[in-house]
Amino acid sequence: MDSHATPVPMSVPWASAASVTCLSLDAKCHSSSSSSDSSCHTDSANTKLRHIAYTQRCSSRWTMLMTVLLLLLPLSFTPAHSCGPGRGLGRRRERNLYPLVLKQTIPNLSEYQSGASGPLEGEIKRDSPKFKDLVPNYNRDILFRDEEGTGADRLMTKRCKEKLNVLAYSVMNEWPGVRLLVTESWDEDHQHGQESLHYEGRAVTIATSDREPSRYGMLARLAVEAGFDWVSYVSRRHIYCSVKSDSSISSHVHGCFTPESTALLESGVTKPLIELSIGDRVLTMGTNGQPVYSEVILFMDRNLEQMQVFVELHTDGGAVLTVTPAHLISVWHPERQQLDYVFADRVEELNYVLVRDAATGELRPQRVVRVASVRSKGVVAPLTREGTIVVNSVAASCYAVIDSQSLAHWGLAPMRILSTLQSWMPAKDQLRSSQQAEGVSRAEQQNGIHWYANALYKVKDYVLPRSWRHD
């Protein structure tokens, strides 16, 4: 986890460019006055006019040039090599993968916790409405036993199919000539326990085509690397893997809050996130861990119709934060006196989060006493200049998906710089009221992910190792 404080907003070195130009022109004028004082005074008015016009042109060109360079800056870095068995750019970096041992599970949680495959959502039968959500897998690199002869073992959720195909590719790379064998997928004959994800098409039982037990420990490790949400080396005969439901991740694998969650404005008014506007100054957490008010510069996501699974964190002080699983939450480690950012679905009971004290206004650690999973309608994700926000009195990041607050904050730097440049526009005082009205309009009209955030989400799979991402 990222233990570094949020970086101090970068300085803007090009802001002094116009001043340097002014000084150089004035210097030339003064040097000329020593030789021809009357000539300089005669043309002083024209010189000033030319000087102002030249300075304005330079300032405008500098602003345009630096804006373009900063927007292109993320593209100039060499992408990181892929660490997993899936897609990547360039030659894959070698890693030492250690096989699982018998009875080991990853993660070391109950399969039904939100940090693993999540809660049961109900059995799917052939006449169920959800049956159409199951998809067949005809990957030629996978062998399906299909003892029933009904094709049931080929049916699974989209997420399960995606992870299984990645695993099949890894198996062929690890053991040439050996293929992945699926012995059980969707189960319609009730051959498993009462609470089994096989009934939802979210689980597979796998082995290798040669049935060599000595490979199964490494097969389990490859399944973890392929992205299965829960993997168990359950017996010497097979490996069990399961995934989160498609509805729990849907299109929102990033981080959001519920629309009815609240933020505290600088005026002292508590406002639901659905009513926030661009330009509002809300309570956030500064780099020193203290409360500070910061401007909302955009909404990374705003969708009031999306049904979403949220993680609900309850503290011993009564605070309740409802947030998507991939969102970063600030967690305080008293034994190390260290603040980390942790994915919401990996926050555990007895962890400490920072909560605003109503009496003092300071952020104080409170113990998490309950972690639950709930479904709710609507998602809102405001981005502040500080990169953090206090929601329902709990300090959280504005970022999600990657487990580094500092890297995510750097990635959104172009948007902060663009917002700063817009604030420097001429006659900003006269335009302030109209800009605020425009900010309200943009927030109300937005339905979906902000274009820049969407671009970052799309490239993350190619430039970041899987161990850095919430998959």
Q: Is 189 annotated as a binding residue?
A: yes
Average pLDDT score over residue span 248-256: 60
Q: Is 260 annotated as a binding residue?
A: no
Average pLDDT score over residue span 392-409: 91
Residue 119 has pLDDT above 90, yes or no: no
Tokens at 162, concatenated:
């995606």
Q: Is 119 exposed, middle or buried (0-12, 13-18, 19+ CB in 10 A)?
A: middle
pLDDT in tens, 289-346: 899 999 999 998 888 877 788 899 999 999 999 999 889 999 999 999 999 999 998 8
Average pLDDT score over residue span 256-277: 95
Tokens at 422, concatenated:
């817009």
Residue 104 has pLDDT above 90, yes or no: yes
Q: Is 198 annotated as a binding residue?
A: yes
Q: In order of start, what are the domains of the chain with their CATH numbers?
A: 104-248 (3.30.1380.10), 262-424+441-452 (2.170.16.10)
Report which of residues 453 and 232 the model is more confident about.
Answer: 232
Q: Helix, strand, or coil here: 45?
A: helix
Q: Is 238 annotated as a binding residue?
A: no
Residue 78, pLDDT score: 35
CA 293 to chain centre: 23
Q: Is 51 annotated as a binding residue?
A: no
> In Å, what is the CA distance from 421 to each residue of 70, 424, 441?
12, 5, 20
Residue 428 has pLDDT above 60, yes or no: no
| Residue whose structure tokens are 């990547």 | 88
CA 460 to chain centre: 9
Q: Is 188 annotated as a binding residue?
A: no
pLDDT, averaged across the chain: 78
Q: Is 147 annotated as a binding residue?
A: yes
Strand partners, 143: 181
- State phi, psi for 201 to the nearest 5 degrees: 70, 20
The Cα–Cα gap between 424 and 84 comes to 45
Beta carbons of 124 and 201 less than 8 angstroms apart = yes
pLDDT bucket at 65, cuts 50 / 70 / 90? very low
Q: In what order do the strands lie in the sheet with 105-106?
A: 105-106, 230-232, 239-242, 203-208, 180-184, 142-144
Beta carbons of 248 and 309 less than 8 angstroms apart = yes
Strand partners, 375: 309
Residues for the chain: how many in total?
471
Tokens at 85, concatenated:
């068995």
pLDDT in tens, 192-243: 888 899 999 999 999 999 999 999 999 999 999 999 999 999 999 999 999 9
Residue 62, pLDDT score: 45
Residue 447 has pLDDT above 80, yes or no: no
Residue 31, pLDDT score: 39
Q: Is 187 annotated as a binding residue?
A: yes
